[in-house]
Structure 1
Amino acid sequence: MENLKVIVADDHADSREILIEFINHLPDVTVVAEAVDGKEVVEQVLSHRDVDAVLIDIRMPKLNGMEAIKICLEYVPQLRFIFITGYDDYAVEAFTISATDYIVKPVEAGRLYKALAKVRERKELANNNRNDSQRMIIKNKKLTYYVPINDILFIEKNGKEALVHTKDKTYVTLETLDSLEKKLTSSFYQSHRSYIININKISHIESSGRTYLAYFLDYDKAAHISKHRIHTTHQKLLR
């Protein structure tokens, strides 16, 4: 069974210690980081983008837990999170942003384990459906786009942003290439450290100095293919 990676966030050390003690009894769950305020939550999530879930209090210094999670979701939209708080008056808002669970303190081990089981179920469901997914969710600040995966020509890293190119529109997101690649089907290939291409949409490839350029039907812009990955690209095109 694949290990779950979690971040524990609470401004009270004793609360963090209780959660970590419970989690330490689970062989398939690992605490990869702790946070004592909302700002640190964001920093830790950005440092551990492959984290499966954040266990987070709501009333914390600098940024409350709700605000911190909303920021994290701009960068890691697939992030799962469990609110663990002494107050029940945030539950409605928590579930409007798709919280996996909402636990009111004091926390019992069995209740926490049920919440973590939900995290695993959602992760496995997402993995099983990834290749069959018809649309990709792309978030940019307050906007959420649902883009048909088959419409994507290529994805390009541009500084801290990623540009998702379709024939009709280019979408801008703060997600990393690694994060976006996890949502794609097997027809996509990372041809360069800054590019992911849709093999099925390539019309032709052109040599350009030390690199190669992939062109797409009815689209002017090209994606780069590194010389180290051109052979694999050719092989994928011939399948």
Structure 2
Amino acid sequence: MTPIRYLIAEDEPLLARALAAHLQEQWCEAECIGFAAHGDEALAMVDAHHPDVIFLDVRMPVRDGLQTAQVLCEYTQPPLIVFVTAYDEYALAAFEAAAVDYLLKPVEPERLARCIARLRERLTEPESSSLDQLALHLQGLLGQSSATERLRIIRAGVGNSVKMIPVEQVIYFEASDKYVNVVTPQTEALIRIPLRELLTGLDPQQFWQVHRGTIVNAACITSAERDENGRIHLSLQGRSEKLPVSRQFAHLFRQM
């Protein structure tokens, strides 16, 4: 049986190690995949290791916990989120209503035990029912509106010029080293926005992440076919290549 895997995002190393020690003692069947000192590092580790749970400090440098959680809510299969914070009980009531749970610093063993019990219960559920609620709640906490953040135009480098590409013309985005390739029926162009940040500006109803490094315009998918090994490949309007779908995102096409 694959062990439950969790990530601790905490900018104070002593607090991170203390939480890890408590978790090792009380949740011995789970495995810590590592520590992140800020939100960007946490997102990179989630992309690389796909943990089941993230213990997320609210106040971190670079990208704080709330902003990090908002990005995670755009993932097709995000980890369960537990906020770890020094906020008072009044503020924590909002977090408790939206996230799986919260822990108040310094973490008390009895409170952690209740959190672990809640996580065990949630990890047996087929889907995270409160994900949409968490996303909307975080938008309110951050004073942001997803409608105003949606990308309309992609500014991409083509040779010595900058090409303005309407988002609805994009067939798919594909990560390549430090760049993302923007593919349309006529052209391909490079942008320097990380794929995970690009996700936050795209309409999730229109653009689906189908692979760790690929986001596709759902309106441009003409068919999804399984090969003899059960892997799914997408055929696209205006393109001859076929895009692979990773097992992590195969559920998007489960009604085939």
In the superposition, the TM-score normalised over structure 1's length comes to: 0.55
The gaps in structure 2 that reach 5 residues or longer are 129-144, 148-170, 176-194, 196-204, 214-223, 245-256
SS in 2 for 1:75: coil
Identity within the alignment, %: 22
In 2: Cα distance, 1:225 partner to 1:17 partner? 41
In 2: Cα distance, 1:221 partner to 1:123 partner? 39
Mapping for residues 127-142 of structure 1, pairs under 5 Å: 142=146
For residues 165-203 of structure 1, the C-alpha deviation after alignment (integer angstroms, 9 at most, x for no partner) is xxxxx831235379xxxxxxxxx974399x637xxxxxx
2:199 aligns to what? none
2:74 aligns to what? 74
1:27 aligns to what? 28
1:36 aligns to what? 37
Aligned residues: 168
CA RMSD of aligned residues (A): 4.2
Q: For 2:99, give the aligned amino acid.
A: A
1:52–1:119: 8 Å Cα contact kept in structure 2? no
1:176 matched to 2:218: no
1:191–1:224: 8 Å Cα contact kept in structure 2? no
2:4 aligns to what? 4
Q: Decide whether aligned partners of structure 1 residues 221 and 157 sit closer, same or farther in structure 2, where only a CA change above 3 A counts.
A: closer
1:46–1:75: 8 Å Cα contact kept in structure 2? no
SS in 2 for 1:24: helix
1:196 matched to 2:235: no
Q: For 1:14, give the aligned amino acid.
A: L
Q: Decide whether aligned partners of structure 1 residues 121 and 189 sit closer, same or farther in structure 2, where only a CA change above 3 A counts.
A: farther
2:72–2:78: 8 Å Cα contact kept in structure 1? no
In 2: Cα distance, 1:2 partner to 1:113 partner? 22
1:125 aligns to what? 125
1:94 aligns to what? 95
In 1: Cα distance, 2:91 partner to 2:33 partner? 26
SS in 1 for 2:125: helix
The gaps in structure 1 that reach 5 residues or longer are 130-140, 144-155, 162-169, 179-187, 198-212, 227-239
Q: For 2:21, give the aligned amino acid.
A: E
1:15 Cα deviation from its structure 2 partner: 0.6
1:82–1:100: 8 Å Cα contact kept in structure 2? yes
SS in 1 for 2:59: coil
1:159 matched to 2:174: yes
1:36 Cα deviation from its structure 2 partner: 0.8
1:103 matched to 2:129: no
Q: Decide whether aligned partners of structure 1 residues 224 and 176 sit closer, same or farther in structure 2, where only a CA change above 3 A counts.
A: closer
1:76 Cα deviation from its structure 2 partner: 4.5
1:136 aligns to what? none
For residues 33-69 of structure 1, the C-alpha deviation after alignment (integer angstroms, 9 at most, x for no partner) is 2111122111111112x31110111111111101111
SS in 2 for 1:55: strand
SS in 2 for 1:59: coil
In 2: Cα distance, 1:220 partner to 1:38 partner? 37
1:103 Cα deviation from its structure 2 partner: 1.5
